Amino acid sequence: MKLEKILSYFKSFPVLNRNLFITEVVNLFGQKADKVYILDGLSAYFASYCFNLRKSDTAKLARLNVEASGGKALLELSEKNR
């Protein structure tokens, strides 16, 4: 069995209206993702990466976690979204 290296990227950033922000991200990525789950935030799955976006309950922050099955895909994502 071959194990792929999974890399992750995490970022917290300030958002005034966290509910509206997550709704906008759902509208932007929802149709493009292979799978989407909306529970306590947004989880979107694509062929080479996935991300989870959650709002903080204690601060006006959104927290983004991206995981990719290879360094190149994650590097490209993190460079685009700095």
CATH of the domain at 37: 3.30.310.50
| Domain count for the chain | 1
pLDDT at 60 over 60: yes
Report the pLDDT value the prediction gives residue 5, as an integer from 0 to 100. Answer: 67
Q: Please answer whether residues 29 and 37 qualify as being in contact, where contact means their C-beta atoms are separated by less than 8 angstroms.
A: no
Secondary structure percentages of the chain, helix, strand, coil, to 5: 25, 40, 35
pTM over 0.85: no
Report the pLDDT value the prediction gives residue 10, as an integer from 0 to 100. Answer: 87
Report the pLDDT value the prediction gives residue 3, as an integer from 0 to 100. Answer: 46
pLDDT at 1 over 50: no
- Higher pLDDT, residue 74 or 50: 50
Q: Is 1 domain-assigned? A: no
Q: Which residues contact 52 (CB under 8 A, 6 or more apart)?
A: 41, 42, 43, 64, 65
Task: Give the H or E element holding residue 11.
Answer: strand 7-14
- Higher pLDDT, residue 14 or 7: 14
Tell me the C-alpha distance between 14 and 8, whole Å: 20
Q: Is 2 domain-assigned? A: no
Q: Is 59 domain-assigned? A: yes
